[in-house]
Amino acid sequence: MFTGIVAAVGKVAAGTPAAGGLRLRIAAGGLDLGDVAAGDSIAVNGVCLTVVARGAGEFEADVSRETLACTAGFAAGDRVNLEKALRLADRLGGHLVSGHVDGVGAVRRSEPEGENRLLAVAAPRELAQYIARKGSIAVNGVSLTVNEVNGAEFVVNLIPHTLAGTTLGELRARDKVNLEVDMLARYVERLREPRTD
C-alpha cells in the first residue's frame, strides 16, 4: 500500500529480458534504500514492484509480461517516480494507492497556469466512471485531485512542489501515463452490484 506521495525521482538504468518478463535495474536517485531489503515493495511510476536485489543507490525488480502489457514507463533511460511502501506509523498525505495500475492514459495537453501546470489526460473509457471531480487519482504514482472531468478526459492541477519533486512536469502531449483510480470508487461500484446468492 502507498500514499501517492513521491519520495524521489529515479531512473531505469537497464532492462534485461528475463524468464516471463523483464529484470529492471533502477537508479534510486534520492530515495533512501538503507532500510530496503529483498522482498520489500517500491512503487515505480505507480506500479508496485518487489525488490529482488539491492546495491549502492540502486535496486532490481522483476516485471512480468502481464504488467508490461498494461503499464508504461519502463524503458531504459526513463525517469520514474519512486515511493517506498506505507508503514502503519506513516502519515497518509495523499490517498490510499495500491500500486495496481488500472490502465494507461494518454496526455492530451500540459500547459502553464501561472506557476502551476494543467495536465489533461484521456483515460481508457472503462475507467471514466471511476473518475470524479474533486476525487482522487494516481498518475504515474502521484496522488492528485481531479479538477475537471469531460467524458473520459480529466484535468489535474500540478503545483510547483509536485512539478519539482516528480516527473509530471516533463510530460507532453501523447505521452503515456499509468493510472490508478480511487479504490473507494471501485468498492462502491461492487456494493451497488445486484447480489446473486
Cα dist from 152 to 17, 124, 155, whole Å? 34, 7, 10
Residues 122 and 64 in one domain: no
As a whole number, mean pLDDT of residues 11-28 equals: 95
Contact in structure between 113 and 173 (CB atoms under 8 Å): no
Confidence of residue 94 (pLDDT cuts 50, 70, 90): confident
Contact in structure between 43 and 2 (CB atoms under 8 Å): yes
Between 146 and 195, whose confidence is greater? 146
Of 91-100, 112-121, 146-155, least confident by mean pLDDT is 91-100
Residues 107 and 187 in one domain: yes
Residues 79 and 125 in one domain: no
Is 43 a domain residue?
Answer: yes
**Which region, left, alpha or beta, applies to residue 176 given φ > 0 means left and ψ of -120 to 50 means alpha?**
beta
Residue 101 dihedral angles phi and psi, to the nearest 5°: -65, 135
Residue-number span of the structural domain to which 109 is assigned: 103-191
Between 189 and 59, whose confidence is greater? 59
Residues 117 and 62 in one domain: no
Residues 107 and 166 in one domain: yes
Residues 107 and 167 in one domain: yes
Q: What is the pLDDT of residue 192?
A: 74
- Quick check: 187 pLDDT over 90? no
Q: How far is CA 135 from the centre of its chain?
A: 16
Tens of pLDDT, residue by residue over 21-63, are: 999 999 999 999 999 999 999 999 999 999 999 999 999 999 9
Q: What is the pLDDT of residue 197?
A: 66
Q: What is the mean pLDDT of the chain?
A: 93
Is 98 a domain residue?
Answer: no
Residues 77 and 111 in one domain: no
Q: How many domains does the chain have?
A: 2
Residues 70 and 142 in one domain: no
Q: What is the pLDDT of residue 171?
A: 97
As a whole number, mean pLDDT of residues 81-109 equals: 90
Residues 79 and 108 in one domain: no
- Quick check: 106 pLDDT over 70? yes
Is 140 a domain residue?
Answer: yes
Residues 130 and 187 in one domain: yes
Q: The domain that contains 37 carries what CATH number?
A: 2.40.30.20
Residues 136 and 182 in one domain: yes
Ranges of beta strands (E only) in 128-174 are 136-139, 142-150, 153-158
Q: Which amino acid is at 68?
A: L
Tens of pLDDT, residue by residue over 110-122, are: 999 999 999 999 9
